[in-house]
Structure 1
Amino acid sequence: MTSTATARSQNSWDFDFSTPYPTQDSDLLKQLSFIPGLKEILMARQVHALEHATVWVLGDMARPRGIGDRFEEQQDNETLGGLSTDRGFYLYGPVNRIHLGRAVRRALERLKSGEWDLALHPRCGTNTSVSRLLTAGFFAGISLLFPRGPLEQLFAFGIATTAAAQLSPDLGNLAQKHLTTSIPFNLEVDSISQTTDLWGRSAYFIGVRWCESSVVR
């Protein structure tokens, strides 16, 4: 019986970015290995997804549990933040190291098992960037339709900002899904250490390593 991943790999240039599968980035890396820095880009996207999922899992862990309580919605802990690199990610905020270790591994397991929505987060910088681009684009277009007076231009800016605020959440999620994150099928957690980032801020750094063959458990 031919698996989905095997069927896709029979056509070396048939990359399906709409439905994640375990060898998607490995296949892409094999076919486009001549592109400098491609592996680092792919790793950064996978790490980005793991960062988001870890924040979600930590939020769930911090939520008080009641008898018979069911958690069908993810809980966002706004005291936590992250910064991804191609070697791992920094996690900022009050968190217990033991809980963090459990959360990272649980997040990785859930992502690989099909809970792909964990890879997206509303507080991601991608959404902020999309919002700014939309605002600038809308204002550039709308301002041409209004007189050049300051009040009229301020009104145009207000319209642009409102329109961007309405569209940016959905478009930001699309940008995260297809551009800035990828399901971390190739990642394994390597280390968790307390450190400081480039700006001297205290954080935990979750180091990861690339694995060519990743089995979904």
Structure 2
Amino acid sequence: MTSSASSASSSSSFPFEFVADPGQDRELLDRLGFISGLKEVLTIRQVHALEHATVWVLEEMAGAENDGSRGDRLGGMSTETGFYLYGPVNSERLRRAVQIALHRLTRGEWDLAVHPRCGTNLSVGMLMAGGLAVGMSWLLPKGPVEQLLGLGMAAAVATQLSPDLGQLAQRYVTTAIPFNLRVVEVSATRDWWERPAHFVRVEWID
């Protein structure tokens, strides 16, 4: 899931090198295909990366054309059949952006798969804050002042660490380079509140 966009280069600082293997997901399916839902999970990870890359490309297009479009008005949600893109965007521009994003991802621009406003970052931050808060509650005296200080420390540490850890989670857990995806169609639709949206339908290829 994504909202907003800025610069893909901000996602490139990781503590160890990332190398994508084009045959990794295919090999997993060959060996573990008997596991129910495995293909759907692998597909969603690849769709998630394509969603992020598409938002990056749309932002780059808007900046290059200086048309005043705002990437921070876009949001996305990935499924096993494609992804929704919420917000005002021209359908033809989106079609071009998806194909460019897929091409760039599979040709080595792997940083496009990671997005700083992805919901993964928020989830990691909430888990960190909750875990640290529980830990502080156990470790510190039970007085109200000490407990409040503990909560503040937990929130501060989580705020500091969650962006980097969230990007790591995206890189290695919630996204995968879409070597096995083909874009089928891009169709205009509406969200629950009747605001403009699009659905990018994909299919798995071997």
TM, length-normalised to structure 2: 0.85
Residue aligning to 1:60: 60
Give me the whole-angstrom Cα distance separating, in 2, the residues matched to 1:39 and 1:48.
Answer: 14
Q: 1:89 aligns with which of 83, 90, 115?
A: 83
1:22 Cα deviation after fit: 1.5
- Pairs within 5 Å for 1:1-217: 18-64=18-64, 77-197=71-191, 202-212=196-206
- Shift of the 35–169 alpha-carbon distance from structure 1 to 2, 3 Å rule, reads same
Q: Distance in 2 between matches of 1:39 and 1:102?
A: 27
> 2:88 touches 2:196 (CA, 8 Å); kept in 1?
no
Is the Cα contact below 8 Å between 2:44 and 2:80 reproduced in 1? Answer: yes
Higher RCO structure (Cα 8 Å, ≥6 apart): 2
* 1:154 Cα deviation from its structure 2 partner: 1.9
1:199 Cα shift?
6.9
Shift of 1:169: 0.9
Counterpart amino acid of 1:152? E
Any conservation in 1 of the 2:88–2:197 contact (CA below 8 Å)?
A: no
Question: What residue in structure 2 maps to residue 8 of structure 1?
Answer: none
Percent of aligned positions that are identical: 57
Structure with the largest fraction of helix: 2
* Distance (Å, rounded) in 1 between the aligned partners of 2:193 and 2:143: 42
1:64 CA drift (Å)? 4.2
Larger radius of gyration: 1
SS in 2 for 1:63: helix
Count matched residues. 187
Q: How far off is 1:142 after superposition?
A: 1.3
Aligned residue type for 1:95: V
- Rounded to whole Å, the distance in 2 between the matches of 1:28 and 1:200 is 40
Q: Counterparts of 1:98 and 1:201 in 2: how far apart (Å)?
A: 18
Given that residues 90 and 197 in structure 1 are in contact (C-alpha distance below 8 angstroms), is that contact kept between their aligned partners in structure 2? Answer: no
Q: CA deviation at 1:145?
A: 3.0
How far apart, in 1, do the equivalents of 2:179 and 2:155 lie? 38
Provide the TM-score with structure 1 as the length reference: 0.81
Per-residue CA distance 1:78-111 (angstroms, 9 max, x = gap): 1111000000000011111111000000000000
RMSD over equivalenced CA pairs, Å: 1.9
